[in-house]
Amino acid sequence: MAKVLMKGNEAIGAAAIKAGCKYFFGYPITPQNEIPEYMSRELPKVGGVFLQAESEIAAINMVYGAAGCGVRVMTSSSSPGIALKQEGISYIAGAELPCVIVNISRGGPGLGSIQPAQSDYYQSTRGGGNGDYFHPVYAPASIQETVDLMQEAFDVADKYRTPVMVLGDGMIGQMMEPVEFFEREPLKVEKPWATNGTKGKRKPNIINSLFIDPQALEDHNHRLEEKFELMKKNETRVETFNMEAAEVVCVAYGTTARIVKNAIENCKKEGIEVGLIRPITLWPFPEAAFDEISDTTKVFLSVEMSMGQMIDDVKIAVAGRRPVEFYGRSGGMIPTPEGVVQKIKSILGRE
C-alpha cells in the first residue's frame, strides 16, 4: 500500500480499525479529539459502534463490558481523562480482559494544559489504579511507529488478556507524517472465557475482579505476576542508537527521543559521542539494554517532558553502575536540541 499523509490521531483510528477494533467508547478532550472524530465517522462503515459516553468513567466501563464479550474494543483520552479511567483499568486488569487505551497526554497536574507533555509516566507504568497490576505501555516516536504499535497493541492485549496502553504526547496526536499500513492479519485468539451467550451449550462464564477468599486472591495475584513476568520476557521493545563509543547515554522516549537524536548529531559535530536508549515499551522497561554499555560511557542522562519520572526506572536499570542525570521541560514546553546539548556539555564539564 502506498504512503498516505495522516495526522497522528487519525492514524491511530485507522490502525485500530485495521486491527479489527469494532467498538470505541470515549469522551472528548484535547489534544486527542480527532480519534473519536475519526472513529465516529469510520466505525459505522465497518459495522462497528462508536459511542460518546457521558463521562470518561462511563466510557471505560463500556470498554470493560465490551471486552468481556470478547470483541476488540478501545478508548482514548488525554491525561486528566485517563486519570478518571483508572478505576476501570484496574478492574479490567483484575478481570483479565483485553482492550486498548490510548493516552495522548498533556501537561498536568490537574487540568494542566493542552500542550504536549510526558508527565503521565508514573500513571502509565505503575498501575494507575489500585492493586497489584501492570499493563504494557507503548510509546511511539513517529506516526508510522504509532500505527504499527496500535496493531501490535490489540494482538498483545488478546494474547495476554490485558489492557494495553499506547502513550503518545500532543505532538504525536497533532502532527502529520507519511504512513504506510502494512497488511497484517490480526492475531486470532480463542476467547472461551467471553460472556457472549451460552446458547444453552455451556455453563455461564463469570467475569469478575472480586475475590472474597484471601487465599483465592493471593493465588490470582500470583497468576497475574506470572503473566507480568512473561510479558517482560516477550514484549519488551527498545531502540538503541550510537552506543558504541558514547561518553553520555541519553534515555528518552516518544517525540523527546527525536529531539535527542538531533542533539546527538549536534554533539557529534563538536566531537562528543552521545548514545540513545529509546524505550518503545515503558512497561516492560527495557532494563537489559542498560547491561550492554560501552566502557566509554561515563554517565546516563534521562531526558523527559516532565520534572523527572522515567529517571526512576533508569536508575533501577543502571543499578548504581553509573551516575544518572536529568534534563527536562514541563508544562507544555518542549525541550530543544540546544538545551540537551548544553546539559550534556555541562555534565562533561566542557561548557
Of 34 and 152, which has the nearer Cβ to another protein? 34
Of 5 and 288, which has the nearer Cβ to another protein? 5
Provide the 8-state DSSP code for 320: T
CB of 279 to another protein, least distance (A): 18
CB of 134 to another protein, least distance (A): 30
Binding residues for another protein (CB under 8 A): 3, 5, 30-31, 114-115, 170-171, 174-178, 255, 258-259, 261-262, 265, 334, 336-338
CB of 106 to another protein, least distance (A): 10
Measured in degrees and rounded to the nearest 5, phi and psi for residue 189 equal -125, 125
Angstrom distance (rounded) from CA 78 to CA 123? 12
The DSSP secondary structure of 292-306, one letter per residue, reads S--TT--EEEEEESS
**How many separate helices (H) and strands (E) can be counted in the chain?**
11, 14
CB of 8 to another protein, least distance (A): 10
- 219-237 residues labelled b (16+ CB within 10 A) or e (exposed): ebeeebeebbeebbeebbb
Tell which residue, 281, 288, 345, has the closest CA to residue 317: 288
Query: Do residues 78 and 174 make contact, with C-beta atoms less than 8 angstroms apart?
Result: no
Which residues sit opposite 112 in a β-bridge? none
CB of 335 to another protein, least distance (A): 9
Of 115 and 119, which has the nearer Cβ to another protein? 115
93, with CB counted inside 10 A (0-12, 13-18, 19+), is buried
Of 93 and 167, which has the nearer Cβ to another protein? 167
CB of 23 to another protein, least distance (A): 28
Of 3 and 184, which has the nearer Cβ to another protein? 3
Residue located via cell numbers 564539564: 349
Of 17 and 179, which has the nearer Cβ to another protein? 179
Query: What length is written for the chain?
Result: 351
